[in-house]
Chains A and B, each alone.
Chain A
């Protein structure tokens, strides 16, 4: 997914739930702060999103824009309705969200804003998920200079996992280039 497709999904979600503020987590949230993010960070076709003021309405986004929907079929990308509990990011992540305004659509009165995970929080959330693709994401983000290892290490203590998990992440965090 690229930045234009990201904007398309968020704008469409705004029209589905008739709200303007959304939280975007998952890989594609990098597009909120890095519109031209490296392709190695953008391999997935789905956008994890929920309405900031009414997370419970995320299911409506799935209904209209989700996996297998006509939207997905036509455009080749889709939205995953998720919730704040899905983001296994360090304490305080919600206060570090990065606001990304979406250009208004010609025929819509909505003015959507996507609040995206700050890149360090995103990388650490991926490390908590711990799949091979998540570690590849971390490696690419560090190598591209989008996050720095020192800041990552400083936030590991705030992750919502046990001490063993935190130690494992500290040990496995890739070195910078």
Chain B
């Protein structure tokens, strides 16, 4: 099996398994399988693979990259590729709004990072759905295992994310020191579109 075909097979499996995971967020075996496939596939894929997966031309992917509809991230090897989570959301028809050009620095952006984080979480709490919570629980598990989320924060997030949605929203807006610490290690990504997220940054600056 060629590399491209193999990656497409893995992407297809991931897309299906993530849909199943959202319906069964407590299934740890399922989470373990997904984490394993993601490790096998890698965090990013080439634009060529992305084009095949989305069923569009390479030229069209390039256009979407230029407009910001499809972001590229620099992986540890220095290659700029399409993030797998974004690709999966694009396939599902979620978050297709383009990102604006690099955030402008007409004004000096010196607002407090903690305040920016609170604004970000306040905004996402308004849009929060059970699927977003299920996705966050998945990321807590995955990042804990890969070592990027410290156990103390993973434990706190696991507890918080097991609570009713309204309580989670309340916690995301909490202004205590403990809440600020937790937000600094947030598993909530992809709830806001890139356009919304960057607009918040421009507002803060």
Interface set of A (CB-CB < 8 Å, partner B): 1-2, 4-5, 8, 11-12, 15-16, 39, 42-46, 48, 55-60, 62-64, 66-77, 80-83, 85-86, 105-108, 131-133
Query: Number of B residues whose C-beta is below 8 Å from A?
Result: 49
Any A CB within 8 A of the CB of B76: yes
The answer to whether B189 and A45 have CB atoms under 8 Å apart is no
A173 to chain B, nearest CB (A): 20
Residues of B contacting A62 in the complex (Cβ-Cβ under 8 angstroms): 103, 109, 116, 201
B residues adjacent to A (C-beta < 8 A): 43-44, 71, 73-74, 76-79, 83-86, 102-103, 105, 108-110, 113, 116-117, 120, 124, 139, 142-143, 146-150, 152-153, 177, 181, 184-186, 188-192, 194, 197-198, 201, 205
Of B105, B113, B185, B192, the residue contacting A80 (CB under 8 A) is B113
Partner of A58, one of B109, B117, B147: B109
A59 touches B103 (CB 8 A): yes
Contact A59 B201 (CB under 8 A): yes
Known A43-B152, A73-B189; judge A82-B201 contact (CB<8 A): no
**What are 9 contact pairs spanning A and B, CB under 8 A?**
A44-B150, A48-B113, A62-B103, A62-B116, A69-B197, A70-B83, A76-B149, A80-B113, A81-B109
Q: Is the CB of A70 within 8 A of B86?
A: yes
Q: Is the CB of A74 within 8 A of B73?
A: yes
Tell me how far the C-beta of A1 lies from the nearest C-beta in chain B, rounded to whole angstroms. Answer: 7
Complex CA gap A96/B33 in Å reads 48
Query: In the complex the two chains form, is A76's CB within 8 Å of B146's CB?
Result: yes
Is B103 a contact of A107 with CB atoms below 8 Å?
A: no
CA distance A59 to B111 in the complex (A): 10
Given contacts A70-B83, A81-B109, whether A46 and B192 have CB atoms under 8 Å apart is no
One of B116, B149, B190 near A73 (C-beta < 8 A): B190
Shortest C-beta distance, B172 to chain A (Å), equals: 12
A76 touches B143 (CB 8 A): yes
A106 partner, pick from B73, B77, B108, beta carbons under 8 A? B77
Contacts of B79 in A (CB 8 A): 107
Contacts of B188 in A (CB 8 A): 68
New contact pairs (16) apart from A56-B108, A70-B86, A74-B43, CB-CB < 8 Å: A12-B73, A12-B74, A16-B102, A39-B150, A43-B185, A59-B201, A68-B120, A68-B188, A68-B189, A68-B191, A73-B83, A82-B113, A83-B110, A86-B113, A106-B78, A131-B177
State how many angstroms separate the Cβ of B68 from the closest Cβ of chain A: 11
Residues of B within 8 A of A69 (CB): 189, 194, 197
Q: Bound complex: CA of A86 vs CA of B71, how far in Å?
A: 30
Tell whether, in the assembled complex, residue B139 and residue A76 are in contact, meaning their CB atoms are under 8 Å apart: yes
Min Cβ gap B67→A in Å is: 15
Rounded to whole angstroms, the CA-CA distance of A123 and B120 in the bound complex is: 28
In the bound complex, CA of A81 to CA of B111 (Å): 10
What residues of B have a CB within 8 angstroms of the CB of A39 in the complex? 150
- Once A70-B194, A131-B181 are accepted as A-B contacts, the answer to whether A108 and B85 lie under 8 Å apart by CB is no
What are the nearest 7 A-B pairs in CB distance?
A: A105-B78, A59-B109, A76-B148, A63-B103, A73-B189, A43-B150, A76-B143
- The answer to whether B110 and A67 touch across the interface, beta carbons within 8 angstroms, is no
A67-B148 in contact (CB<8A): no
The docked-state distance in angstroms from the alpha carbon of A75 to that of B76 is 9
